[in-house]
Amino acid sequence: MKEKKYADVIIDISHEKVDRTFQYKIPEALRETVLVGTSVMVPFGRGNRLTAGYVVEITDQAEFDEEKMKEIYSLSKQKVSPSEDALKLAVFLKETYGSTMIAALKTVLPVKREVKAKEKKTIVRQMTGEEIRSLLAESIRKHQTGKTRFLAALTEEKKLPYELVTGKLHIAPSTIKSLISQQVITVETESYYRNPVRLETGRREEKKLSNEQQAIVDTVIADRDAGICKTYLIHGITGSGKTEVYLSLIEETVKRGRQCIMLIPEIALTYQTLLRFYKRFGDRVSVLNSSLSEGERYDQCERARKGEIDVIIGPRSALFVPFEKLGMIVIDEEHEPSYKSETMPRYHARETAEYLASLKGASLVLGSATPSLEAYSRAKKGEYELFTLTRRLTGGRLADVSVVDLRKELKEGNRSIFSRKLQELIEDRLSRKEQIMLFLNRRGYAGFVSCRSCGLVMKCPHCDVSLSQHRGGKLVCHYCGYEMQEPKKCPSCGSPYILGFKAGTQQIEDQIRKRFPGAGVLRMDADTTRRKGSYEEILSSFAGEEADILLGTQMIVKGHDFPKVTLMGVLAADLSLNDSDYHCGERTFQLLTQAAGRAGRGVRKGEVVIQTYQPDHYSITLAANQDYEAFYEEEMGYRELMGYPPAEHLLAILFTSKEEGQALAAAEETGRILRNYQEESGRSDGSVIGPSKAAVSKINDIYRFVIYCKEKDYQKLLIYKELTENYRKNLPGNSAFVQFDFDPVNTY
């Protein structure tokens, strides 16, 4: 057999120009240790600077003259090496979503570098109690107060925690050292894992499953046992017992010696949810989310790798936890946009989970009250097995929903943000000491400032977005953080009528306080939840009835039961309908359905008021009726008509550069190449649109152009990607950076 002497290495530099492998010789001494996946240090570039990289292939074939080939310098000490599965996942991400290999590798490594284990030190007595007592007597005689304290403690305990000795007992390190050298004590060091969650798990809780629930568990587990691994979709309203089903499914899978990944949108990862898993699985479950320290993340992955935990709960990145015997992936609230990554590689957790499940022979279970059109259409086609949970199990009845036409209110002289109906109901609930939630369904902020005379909108000088009004007369850019003082006069026409469009949550809070002066109000939005733990604080003080009204953005409609809430007001339901994005009808339906599910979780029946300027829009009327099927049919009809996903597939190609001309030139040339290809291959069913300026045409002084490609067949979009990549690689003079986004969830 020929010796495998050469390694193909991906260099740890994030640029598409180096997005290929470079071949290095493996020095004799490293032949045993350098494997596929190993992270290494190699000389790179003209200056031969030592640069980190990952070995992705080992071969006996030299790609070029061996004489000219550089050698691997050493193993990289700090960096974590991806496993074989992780490498396969990285290749999948690169090929499916068009990212550089290095970005894909970094995504599949849940931790990038090794973090030293935490250590616990214990002082252990090496002498008998008798011997210690005689030493103690001597030290009392010599007035050695520190040593006396220490020895006195040692007469009582054979082992003492190190921190106790140096802390509470105030023993100097020199005293400890001298006792060690006299062989009175030794110090034992034990490393342990950082545990991010300390929960009083209490008694194990298990409900007897309903027939509907049990049937799901039986089917999936019977498939598992028969070696069939497929994808299931559980459609069930909030409170219909989906989580209880996940718990049983996971438990059965764990019993069979396999591990499970439970994905939950970060925002829904609440204390309550975690507690349910801890009650069932105790120390065998752990969590991975953005508030963990690097050391905590590292340790959870180590525990997973060594098989010390069976279940990991986390947002989409938890998919990459290295379980050897993965048996099941559950994705709760599968429709959530946060399952799609917004940075390269722009992967979708559902699709990536499908790949991972097939790689590992695992089952994939999706659940939602309002399934994504993608998942539901696949279930209808029979690609996923569909289960429906139809009943709420806690007895709480569905709320009464009414839709209020804000145009009519205005016509009849009511200019307030509260319709007369909502006002009356709020007063009624306040007088009965019941709680109210008010929901503003907008993404981020509005609160922009414009001139009423000439129409000028105050914009960020670096980004093509309007500045948001904050307290204290400040205007802030939410993309780059730019700040300026609010102008007194219009900078363009000099008019003094330059005013804020007052409809952000902050302004609404002010209005609530004015109109209902006696009421306690809590506000929850990106501003009030910036600090770690503040999200939980607001929720728990509302749950503790420290306030009557909780006002907030999307954050308030997820998770959490508030039995005292009997009124949910949606302030302007069509705000989310006006996004320039083909998903907005679906988002609006999902948000309103979720909001409606928030009221009346307790004994009392709840009411929901949806205020809107478009009372006839199907997203609003069908959410009010809680009619998912009818909504699916309507929305799918629209997607088919327009050729949007899931009817067809969409690829956004984004060109960015500091030089506007270069970004545009690269985009235009790409557009030509793609159209040529389309004509030459004689195809008429797809289309290439653009290039055009992106909706946000500049961020941080970087210009943005976009091309959209629509195709029924995903594979054809991959050809467009390849054509674009090939063109870019052969264009050394152009600075434009190219990114791909397949089936994007945002508009560019």
Binding annotation for Zn(2+): 451, 454, 460, 463, 477, 480, 490, 493
Mode of pairing for the β-strands spanning 118-125 and 185-192: antiparallel
| Pairwise CA distance, residues 132 & 390, whole Å | 71
Rounded CA separation 640/637 (Å): 5
Taking CB under 6 A as the criterion, the residue among 194, 242, 378, 598 binding ligand ADP is 242
Q: Assess 642 for contact with Zn ion (CB under 5 A).
A: no
Residue 242 interacting entry, from ligand ADP, Zn ion, none, C-beta within 5 to 8 Å by type: ligand ADP
Question: Under the criterion CB under 6 A, does residue 207 sit at the interface with ligand ADP?
Answer: yes
Q: Which string of x and - marks every residue 381-410 that binds ligand ADP (by CB under 6 A)?
A: ------------xx----------------
Binding partner at 492 among ligand ADP, Zn ion, none, C-beta below 5 to 8 Å by kind: Zn ion
What is the Cα–Cα distance from 676 to 691, expressed in whole angstroms?
Answer: 15
In whole angstroms, how close is the CB of 526 to ligand ADP at the nearest point?
Answer: 25
What are the phi and psi torsion angles at 275 (to 5°)? -60, -40
Q: Which CB atom, from 96 or from 213, has the smaller least distance to ligand ADP? A: 213
> How would you classify residue 352: left for phi > 0, otherwise alpha for psi between -120 and 50, otherwise beta?
alpha
Helical residues (DSSP H) of 457-564, grouped into ranges: 505-515, 534-543
Residue 690: contacted member of ligand ADP, Zn ion, none (CB under 5 to 8 Å, by partner type): none
Query: Near ligand ADP by CB under 6 A, which window of 2-10, 165-173, 206-214, 627-635?
Result: 206-214
Report the residue number, 249 or 610, with the smaller CB distance to ligand ADP.
249
Nearer to ligand ADP, 437 or 707 (CB): 437
Residue 696, interface with Zn ion (CB under 5 A)?
no
* Residue 409: exposure state from Cβ atoms within 10 A (0-12, 13-18, ≥19): buried
We find the least distance from the C-beta atom of residue 248 to ligand ADP, in angstroms, to be 9
Cis peptide before 345 (omega within 30 of 0): yes
Q: Binding partner of residue 240 among ligand ADP, Zn ion, none, CB under 5 to 8 Å per kind?
A: ligand ADP
Place of tokens 């063109």: 727
* Residue ranges in 581-620 that form contacts with Zn ion under rule CB under 5 A: none
Residue with Cβ nearer ligand ADP (310 or 332): 332
Number of residues interacting with Zn ion: please give it, by CB under 5 A.
15
Judged by CB, which is closer to Zn ion: 42, or 475? 475
Q: Which does 482 bind (CB under 5 to 8 A by kind): ligand ADP, Zn ion, none?
A: Zn ion
Count of Cβ atoms closer than 10 Å to residue 544 Cβ = 8
Query: Closest distance between Zn ion and the C-beta of residue 458, in Å?
Result: 10
What contacts 102, CB < 8 A, 6 or more positions away?
10, 11, 12, 13, 14, 19, 54
Residue 48, exposed/middle/buried by CB under 10 A (0-12, 13-18, 19+)? exposed
Is 125 exposed, middle or buried, given 0-12, 13-18 or 19+ CB atoms closer than 10 A?
buried
- Coil vs helix vs strand at 322: coil
Distance CA 590, CA 478 (A): 25
Of these, 96, 99, 238, 259, which contacts ligand ADP (CB under 6 A)?
238
Burial 160-192 (b: 16+ CB within 10 A, else e): bebeebbeeeebeeebbeebeeeebbeeeeeee
Beta carbons of 371 and 219 less than 8 angstroms apart: no
Site string for Zn ion, 443-482 (x = CB under 5 A): --------x-xx-x---x-xx-------------x-xx-x
* CA 322/CA 259 separation, integer angstroms: 10
Regarding 243 and contact with ligand ADP (CB under 6 A), the answer is: yes
Asked if 696 is part of the footprint of ligand ADP (rule: CB under 6 A), the reply reads no
* Bridge partners for 693 per DSSP: 705
Q: Which of 236, 265, 606, 615 touches ligand ADP (CB under 6 A)?
A: 236
**Considering the complex, what minimum distance in angstroms separates the CB of residue 437 from ligand ADP?**
17
> Could you say which of 241, 322, 602, 615 contacts ligand ADP (CB under 6 A)?
241
Among 59, 495, 578, 681, binds Zn ion (CB under 5 A): 495
Task: Please give the residue ranges that form the binding site for Zn ion (CB under 5 A).
Answer: 451, 453-454, 456, 460, 462-463, 477, 479-480, 482, 490, 492-493, 495
Task: Please give the residue ranges that form the binding site for ligand ADP (CB under 6 A).
Answer: 207-210, 213, 236, 238-244, 393-394
